[in-house]
Amino acid sequence: MASRLNDLLAKRAELEQQIVDLQREERSSAIAQVKSLMAQHGLSLVDLGSRTAPPVAKGRSGSKVPAKYRDPATGQTWSGRGLHPNWLKHALAGGARLDDFLI
């Protein structure tokens, strides 16, 4: 029974991969056809009604968020995003309020 289930799951995974591969191939083919037609007729994205070029995928910009909270004892800061840092956790557990640490 378990081997039959494993066989079916393996077939499903194989079919899903085939679907992904075929979609990728068809998409690449469609893009190539569009590019060919655009080059053949001298068209640009502006001609298609787009005011600008499509946005280029970017990674994280790496810009830092300014600190919003500061520990007066150590000078450590926190932007207010993500998990509370340990110094703030301990202070809040000791009865302090988050507003006490606003910069």
Q: List the domain boundaries for the chain.
A: 1-51, 69-101
**pLDDT tops 70 at residue 30:** yes
Q: Interior CA angle at 55 toward 34 and 40, to 5°?
A: 20
**pLDDT at position 49, please?**
80
Find out if CATH 3.30.70 is the number for domain 69-101: no
Phi, psi (degrees; rounded to nearest 5) at 12: -65, -45
Token code pair at residue 76: 């450590």
Give the pLDDT confidence of 79-92 residue by residue, as tens digits: 998 899 999 999 99
Q: What pTM was computed for the model?
A: 0.41
Q: Interior CA angle at 39 toward 30 and 46, to 5°?
A: 90
Percent of the chain at pLDDT exceeding 70: 87
Q: Tell me the three state secondary structure of residue 102.
A: strand
Residues 78 and 85: beta-carbon distance below 8 Å: yes
Give the pLDDT confidence of 45-82 residue by residue, as tens digits: 888 886 666 666 676 666 788 999 999 888 899 999 88
